[in-house]
Structure 1
Amino acid sequence: MLSEDDVLAARDRVADVARHTPLDHSYSFSAMTDAAVHLKLENTQRTGAFKIRGAANRIRTLTDAEQAAGVVTASAGNHAQGVALAASRSGVDATVVMPEYAPYTKVTATRSYGATVVLHGEDYNDAQARAHEIERESDRVYVHAFDDEDVMAGQGTIGLEILDDLPSVETIVVAIGGGGLIAGIATAVKARKPDVRVVGVQAEGAPSAARALEQGSVCELDGVDTIADGIATRSVGERTFPYIQDRVDEVVTVSDDEIALAVTLLLERAKTLVEPAGAVPVAALLEERFDVDPDEVVVPLLSGGNIDMNLLTTVILRGLADQGRYLKIRMTLPDRPGSLRQVTDVIADERANIYAIEHDRTSGDIAMNDTEIEVDMQTRGEEHVEGLLSRLREKGYDVEVLV
């Protein structure tokens, strides 16, 4: 069984590769939740995520012969970069298999750290199957993204840092994909301070650990669907699951809309860029998925910041829409001069700012003498949105809200 001694040994092995990342007391999130919130900024780690800790610890436990043979792994992105950099630091050749739809930024970053990248399959499980084929074909050592006790021990060094930097911590909130991160952190934390609560968070579209806990055993989901690609695994690990059962106090889920809002608020309020998988602990805290006492000392772990810029645009718009700060509508107008001006006059009177208007006369769903428009707007909150929509409907427009 994984123990505190394993995590302490891992801390020594990875000290020259992984940074000791900061804790930031967030007054904004503390005020929003009535708790004392300290953000663990693992998104500032080398490679932009926590994965380098476990990868470095695993690679540095290999024999000379194993290192000479090289390593292979599968990853949705962050583990790929961790293995690539840890291997290059140790002079070990690395091949990484990534899903075909892995974010472009993570693919290019992995290559830049020196690994050979193979794109294969739709998700992590498909990529993992191909990586095991390469393992057998070339006699490389497979470095698992999470289901390995050396990897868990490396990730557990985050727990040691939190306890050292904030002895008053009462709850630590951690994302769960395959479970290696939370297994390592819970092991370190519970060994030193059993009363500290460890809460796991998953995306609703990839609830592998939550489902396994309900059934009492590891199970594989038919598929996953979430913007949080870093935790989009169809099953929790066979080795990590017993630690989750024994050492994690609670596992909750959050929706993609809630994740998008958390990413947006972290960027706006905390001035820190976090990928969706890294934002799920904040989403769960904001949405009150678990109970928090007034002034309770809570540490959400921001586990990574490697987000594709195209996805970031979508996430921010979704987050703004959730706050009533972005609105996209569709309506049908008579196709005659002045019709569009009448609509924009209403929008201007309500003090909304138009980003863009799309005008379409060719839609087969409208009459020949009508035109369809879509309007993107900046708004100032939910009450402002409701007031604008009411005013348009009072003027006789049939308004469909798109976003």
Structure 2
Amino acid sequence: MMEYSLDSGASVSDNSDSIEMQETEDMSDDPFCNPEKPVRVTFEEITSAAYKIRSGIKNTPCEKSHISQLTGMNIYLKKDFLQHTGSFKERGARYALLMLNEQERRNGIIAASLGNHAQAVCYHGYKLGIPVTVVMPLIAPIMKIQKCREYKANVIIEGKDMDEAKKTAYKLSKEKNLTYINGYDHPHIIAGQGTIGLEILEQVSDIDAVVVPTGGGGLLAGVSVAVKMLNPQIKIIGVESERCASYSKAMSNGSPLFTPIEGTLADGLAVPEVGYNAWETSKNLLDKLVVVKEEMIALAILRFIENEKCVVEGAGACGLAAILAGQLDEFKGKRVVLILSGGNIDTTILGRCLERGLAADGRLVKCRVTVSDRPGGISELCKIFGSIGVSIKDIIHERAWVASDVFSVEVIVVCETRDYTHSVELRNLLRSKYKKFEFENFPIESTLVATNKDLFSDDLDP
């Protein structure tokens, strides 16, 4: 386990007026996030946050998952997507708003966000009577933009990504004298997010590990402090997408480093640089960091819908994605808590995720088969698929680009199978019937989680 320490570095107290405001002219536009003098959030601040936000935040359930028997682990799900706005961001947002002084409340606040932080500050600003302005980049999901407007906030759509949206928000905060609240690195935001850790330890006993979705690092930092203070033996596992691996780059660099972000299903984690306060707070508390592939995130979203009947966005599904990919096999037979951080997935994106999940699961496959172009050639192919119960979803045939004889046609078939084993049966049958065929992106067995009873462990809790 990495060395655990809370008594070095700067810290933040209960009163917002007592947070040291660093001189930032040459370092940062955000006075609460000074790279030269980062703030290390304390356990006392997290307990203070828990007390202050208790009347406005749901104590969400942390329940045993049906997926436990499929993975060989005792998995518990902390369902923070059940907050009013659909994500854990409400915790930090409410605490940061409550800690404003009277003048700051009158002037209002501003934030930059892809969606979840924006919704959280808009909702709680509306409930507390504090004016809120949010800057959202062009890539922000339409559903999240609309929700912010429903909470009577001033919504500004500007910038191609989060970096540009933040610059706009910084500029407006100075021009209009608004308090800028960073969605993942403001000390009060980190403290508020840490209250999840307190709830988890009250709800589940004998925990071996807590798996935390990681983007800017605020949730990881808060949960790490809360959990490690109460039980240093619990492992803290951070998980991020390979397409926005900013924390991995920070670990390699020894400090936060700007990381280009690619489009990802885990849009809630798409932060180009880990927060300085979050890094200072969490860097010595993290036991393991896992980077997951996009197809495993899609598969995790599918598993949650099919097995838990809950819709989780890409960021919240990253923990299960790491387990499905076999990256946390050292916790087989142990008790693991996954934080389901949000459920605000755009409906159009959800459809794509389910298709990708089915493909990753070996249940949606695409193949090319060269068949006779004489009458009955394609009909015979369809009968072969139907003979083993494979459902054809789409079929296209091409004549002009077939390199063999003019009496052949290439047929592209997208079909749905029951599972990986069923896909293998289809492949073997086609091999016995046709000389020329190929599958596109045929799933690899080692990346899949079997669902047969042989995997059920007698050591799991009932």
Contact kept? 1:55, 1:151, Cα under 8 Å: yes
- Distance in 2 (CA, whole Å) between partners of 1:196 and 1:217 is 25
- Distance in 2 (CA, whole Å) between partners of 1:117 and 1:331 is 52
- Distance in 2 (CA, whole Å) between partners of 1:368 and 1:121 is 53
Contact kept? 1:224, 1:234, Cα under 8 Å: no
* Corresponding letter in the other structure for 1:25: K
Change (3 A) 1:309 1:366: farther
Change (3 A) 1:363 1:69: farther
- Distance in 1 (CA, whole Å) between partners of 2:379 and 2:337 is 51
* Corresponding letter in the other structure for 2:391: N
* Corresponding letter in the other structure for 2:67: F
| Aligned equivalent of 2:450 | none
| Aligned equivalent of 2:17 | none
The alignment partner of 1:48 has SS state of: coil
Contact kept? 1:35, 1:292, Cα under 8 Å: no
| Aligned equivalent of 1:94 | 132
TM-fit CA distance, 1:168: 2.0
Pairing 1:165–2:174 present? no
Contact kept? 1:105, 1:308, Cα under 8 Å: yes
TM-fit CA distance, 1:77: 1.1
| Aligned equivalent of 1:138 | 176
Contact kept? 1:38, 1:297, Cα under 8 Å: yes
- Distance in 2 (CA, whole Å) between partners of 1:62 and 1:366 is 74
TM-fit CA distance, 1:387: 2.3
| Aligned equivalent of 1:127 | 165
| Aligned-residue identity in percent | 35
| Aligned equivalent of 1:53 | 91
Contact kept? 2:297, 2:321, Cα under 8 Å: yes
- Distance in 2 (CA, whole Å) between partners of 1:189 and 1:322 is 34
| Aligned equivalent of 1:8 | 47
| Aligned equivalent of 1:150 | 188
How many residue pairs end up in the alignment? 402
| Aligned equivalent of 1:216 | 254
TM-score, normalized by length of structure 2? 0.82
Change (3 A) 1:166 1:356: same
Q: Deviations over 1:136-182 (max 9, x none)?
A: 22111111111111000110110110011123222111000000011
- Distance in 2 (CA, whole Å) between partners of 1:206 and 1:367 is 48
- Distance in 1 (CA, whole Å) between partners of 2:271 and 2:294 is 15
Pairing 1:70–2:120 present? no
| Aligned equivalent of 1:82 | 120
- Distance in 1 (CA, whole Å) between partners of 2:369 and 2:166 is 47
TM-fit CA distance, 1:356: 2.5
Contact kept? 1:366, 1:372, Cα under 8 Å: no
| Aligned equivalent of 2:436 | 398
- Give 1:326's match in structure 2, choosing from 346, 364, 373: 364
Q: CA RMSD in A?
A: 2.1
Contact kept? 1:32, 1:286, Cα under 8 Å: no
- Distance in 1 (CA, whole Å) between partners of 2:331 and 2:287 is 16
Contact kept? 1:389, 1:399, Cα under 8 Å: no
Contact kept? 2:370, 2:434, Cα under 8 Å: no
The alignment partner of 2:323 has SS state of: helix
| Aligned equivalent of 1:377 | 415
* Corresponding letter in the other structure for 1:43: F
Contact kept? 2:402, 2:408, Cα under 8 Å: no
TM-fit CA distance, 1:334: 5.0
TM-fit CA distance, 1:302: 0.5
The alignment partner of 2:414 has SS state of: strand
- Distance in 2 (CA, whole Å) between partners of 1:89 and 1:367 is 72
TM-fit CA distance, 1:312: 1.0
| Aligned equivalent of 1:24 | 63
TM-fit CA distance, 1:338: 2.2
* Corresponding letter in the other structure for 1:193: N
The alignment partner of 2:337 has SS state of: strand
Matches within 5 A, 1:247-266: 247-266=285-304
TM-fit CA distance, 1:329: 2.5
Any unmatched runs of 5+ in structure 1? none
